[in-house]
Structure 1
Amino acid sequence: MTQTLIPSPTIRNVHRTVLDNGIVLLVTENPAADIIATRLFIRTGSRWEPQEKAGLSHLLAAVLTKGTDQLSSLEIAEQVESVGAKLNADTSTDYFLISLKTVASDFEPILNLTAQLLQSPSFPEAEIELERRITLQGIRSQREQPFSVAFEQLRQQMYQHHPYALSTLGTEASVSQLTRADLQNFHQTYFRPDNLIISIAGRITPETALEQIEQIFGHWTVSAPPLPSLSLPSLTPHPQNAITAQETQQSVVMLGYLTSPVNHPDYPVLKVLNTYLGNGLSSRLFVELREKRGLAYDVSAFFPTRLDQSQFVVYMGTAPENTEIAIDGLRTEVERLVSVPLTADDLQVAKNKLLGQYALGKQTNSQLAQIYGWYESLGLGMEFDTEFQTQISAVTSEDALKVANHYFIQPYLSVVGPQAFVSSLS
């Protein structure tokens, strides 16, 4: 059946269609360079893993490109590298991703190869064992990095039994127990056309892209039962402290606050607050705590975009003897947002910075394919690109004060540092 490509009413050169088998296709025509970038999003990731199988989607991503029913790992690598293309798989909390980039003339054969990887990976036992060892080394390495230790214990405090509590790598215990059958079951459950988004950007017309996608993926049908529904634990803030003594050259201090998911009205306001507080050398945290007071080796804030409740985190790396002062300094700056409205100038600078960085993040074909596919995978649709910018521009000082008062009440605290300087904190 012929599909209809629907252009976005607000985004130039972007078209969306849904194939008969459920695949969502997004095409951004950009003929400026002879490059086509493609992102294939599968609506899965570590959020969909049982806690006892944490790290499953990461291990699957590591071995997905290592063999199909017809091709070996070496043959796959040769096909990609012989034309100078790029092809890789990765996972995150909220989606699984296959990325490819080619010159226009090589797009169809590399897309064919990608379809084979997506539909019929062989998961060779030897490759699974190799990637398992590499993953376990990565998990052990994280335990030697103060920032990773601090962030891990902060996540576990805040999310407890929710999948967001764990790194996408998983744990030593869970990864050690993963089997080839686990990978196959996860793949058979979630890797299906009605759970797939294909986002293409580059020198290709929407009509040609649709024709090639239908030719390569159109025969792929859904033979599995309906997608399983997730039943995740609800999250209620219960702030607590987690202190780890580790003989390091600096202490790492983190404050965390449970906040909103991406589809909540508070999301754009929190993005503005994050930019004001911790984005760049002109941010409030950097100026006040590093430049003026000399407390920080490193200081910043982050607020990741999440399907479920996100976390707003401020952190600092500081000299061990300044650990308690650093905690007070971070708390003071966050609590200032609760009691003191942002000035019109501060608010406008934060919005300009955020919108400018957002615009710079949509310059390449890879960035365009990524952002539109990502929004679709989050259930926001490609129109969110325009809506987000409008929402940011509309944030007021009153909005910022109200949202800060709602979320920034009592923080979770995570500290890693030398015993002599952190023992009194617990």
Structure 2
Amino acid sequence: MTLLAPSGPTPGAGAASNSDEVTLSLLPSGLRVVTEPLPGVRSASVGVWIGAGSRDEVAGQAGAAHFLEHLLFKGTARRTSVRIAEEIDAVGGELNAFTAKEHTCFYAQVLDTDLPLAVDLLVDVVTAATMTPADVELERAVVLEEIAMRADDPEDMLGEVFDTALFGDHPLGRPVIGSQASVEALTQAGLHGFWRERYTPPRMVLAAAGNVEHARVLELAEAAFPAAPAGTPLAPRQGPPVATGEARVEVHHADTEQAHLMLGVRGLDRRDERRTALEVLNTALGGGLSSRLFQQVREQRGLAYSVYSATTSYADAGQLAVYAGCQPDRLGEVTSVIREVLDSVAERGLTDAEVARAKGALRGGLVLGLEDSASRMSRIGRHELDYGRQRSIRQTLDAIEAVTPDDVAAIAAEVLNRPLTTAVIGPVDEAPS
């Protein structure tokens, strides 16, 4: 699929491009509409993706993007919050949103016959929220409760502590949800300004998948979105790579039954062509029952119930992290075993059999994970926002198949030798040596 270059002329609604069954149209406002039909399903999933997340917040705005995720559902010029809930419940649908570091998504999943309602509801919420002072204060209390609830979940909290340790003062190091102090300080005017500045058609992608027709989705989008000046889609986010930081250690004492440990390094940004090799490495390290970490930490030594690794990629940075939860008196041994595994793979790479298993796991997980309309909608929406183009499933499968043990060894030697960051939450006062 070829995306019209952001610097080129803005086409009318009829201009479209195709990649396999994915079709893109660009409206004069700069809004992109991308669809993927799925024969044989009766569902339709639609999402409005906005290229704004927590890393776009400046001083005094921490938590604003997430706050808006809540606040916009409180009512619009045409609907109260109760009516929004009643309309989606009346058709047995799902209506929700989530906020990440680089984007926000408002989405709905309904029967195909209820697609017009889903599009109208989503666009109404995203573009016409009333955001009254009373609603701001009501939702502030809800967000503060969410922050308190997160503090009671050490595994969830650990991810934020680790991000802060790994990225330091960089915006990627800030919690998406903000803090109690920052949320208490947010004002109606500040939230409204962030919304009006960031929630504009050129920053948005409307994605739909399921039993949908592109022309119909385009028609619904044109009818639902308010009139807007001509615009050019915002180019995919990019910037100079975030420099590899120093090794850091963060320990938060908490009266929990387990000690929760996360070890990790800076990874690759999402435009790095070696990301597929990194995913193979990650899968072999801690992505399944046969992975090195699961076998060494749990199966052979019984040191932890939960142990896994994961990667995350952003426009200009990334990370690879290992999590384990264990009894506090086993924290030192667990840490040592994880480090031994990472050091071994960094020095010698993986076996051919490990690489083959990891590639098979990635292929199977990709295909099985895309068997519903919601996952397909998410895939095409994120690809359009993050890359300005689509990558077919076949292309992704071919990229996985092309990875060799030498590719994995090379990326392991580079990434796993970077400074190691450690984060711990539990009944301990210092990190294991």
- The two structures have a TM-score, normalised by structure 2, of 0.90
> 1:191 & 1:394 partners in 2: Cα distance?
39
Corresponding letter in the other structure for 1:193? P
8 A contact 2:251–2:431 mirrored in 1: no
SS of alignment partner, residue 141 of structure 2:
helix
Q: CA deviation at 1:127?
A: 2.5
Instruction: Indicate the RMSD between aligned Cα atoms, in angstroms.
Output: 2.5
Which of residues 323, 326, 329 in structure 1 aligns to 2:331? 323
- In structure 2, relative to structure 1, the CA distance for the partners of 1:263 and 1:291 (3 Å cut) is same
Q: Which amino acid aligns with 1:6?
A: S
The equivalent position to 1:7 in structure 2, one of 18, 31, 40, is: 18
- Read off the aligned partner of 2:275 and give its amino acid letter: Y
Structure 1 distance, partners of 2:431, 2:363, is 43
- Aligned AA for 1:139? I
Residue aligning to 1:259: 267
Correspondence for 1:191: 199
Give the Cα separation in 2 of the matches to 1:185 and 1:230. Answer: 24
Tell me which moved more, 159-168 or 382-391. Answer: 382-391
User: How far did 1:106 drift?
Assistant: 2.2
Say which of 75, 85, 100 aligns to 2:93. 85
Correspondence for 1:132: 140
In structure 2, the residue matched to 1:46 is: 54
- Aligned partner of 2:24 in structure 1 is 16
Q: What is the CA deviation profile of residues 213-259 of structure 1, one whole-angstrom value per residue up to 9, with x for unaligned ones?
A: 223337333589x99x9989943320022223323222122111011
Residue matched to 1:375: 383
- Per-residue CA deviation, residues 289-329 of structure 1 (Å, 9 max, x unaligned), is 10101111211111123223111101211111111111111
Match of 1:417 in 2: 426
After TM superposition, give the deviation of residue 131 of structure 1 in Å: 2.1
User: Please, which of 7, 30, 43 is the counterpart of residue 38 of structure 2?
Assistant: 30
- CA separation of 1:162/1:386 partners in 2, compared to 1, >3 Å: closer, same or farther? farther
Q: CA distance change for structure 1 residues 301 and 147 in 2, over 3 Å: closer, same or farther?
A: same
Mapping for residues 106-121 of structure 1, pairs under 5 Å? 106-121=114-129
Correspondence list, 1:10-409, <5 A = 11=20, 13-217=21-225, 219-221=227-229, 234-379=242-387, 381-383=389-391, 385-409=393-417
SS at match of 2:305: strand
Give, in angstroms, the shift of residue 269 of structure 1: 1.3
Kindly provide the CA deviation profile for residues 85-114 of structure 1, in whole angstroms up to 9, marking residues without a partner as x: 322222111211010122222221332232
Q: What letter matches 1:272 in structure 2?
A: V
Q: Is the 8 A contact 1:19 1:218 kept in 2?
A: no
Between 1:191-200 and 1:376-385, the stretch displaced more is 376-385
8 Å Cα contact 1:150-1:254 kept in structure 2: yes
State TM-score, norm by structure 1: 0.92
1:417–1:83: structure 2 CA closer, same or farther, 3 Å change rule? closer
In structure 2, C-alpha distance between the alignment counterparts of 1:232 and 1:180, rounded to whole Å: 34
- State the alpha-carbon separation in 1 of the partners of residues 169 and 273 from structure 2: 26
Which amino acid letter does the alignment assign opposite residue 78 of structure 1? E
SS of the equivalent of 2:60 reads helix
| Contact 2:46/2:118 (<8 A) preserved | no
Residues 142, 35 of structure 1: CA spacing in aligned structure 2 closer, same or farther, 3 A cutoff? closer
Which ranges of structure 2 fall in alignment gaps of 5 or more residues? Answer: 1-11
C-alpha distance 230-260 of structure 1, shift in aligned 2 (>3 A): closer
Aligned identity (percent) is 27
Alpha-carbon distance in 2 for matches of 1:271, 1:424: 28
Compared CA separation, residues 293 and 380, structure 1 to 2 (3 A): farther
Corresponding letter in the other structure for 2:85: A
Please list the CA deviations of residues 100-136 of structure 1 after superposition, one character each: whole Å capped at 9, or x if unmatched: 1222222213322322222211113222222212222
Q: Displacement, 1:274? A: 0.9
Distance 1:31 1:384, change over 3 A: closer
- Rounded to whole Å, the distance in 2 between the matches of 1:188 and 1:82 is 31
- Give, in whole Å, the separation in 2 of the partners of 1:287 and 1:202: 39
Q: Are the structure 2 counterparts of residues 16 and 98 from structure 1 closer, same or farther at C-alpha, using a change threshold of 3 Å?
A: same
Q: 1:424 to 1:240 in 2, by over 3 A?
A: closer
**Helix, strand or coil at the partner of 1:52:** coil
Aligned residues: 421
Cα distance between partner residues in 2 of 1:105 and 1:394: 41
Measured after TM superposition, the shift of residue 385 of structure 1 is 4.1
SS of equivalent residue, structure 2 residue 265: strand
1:143, CA displacement in angstroms? 2.8
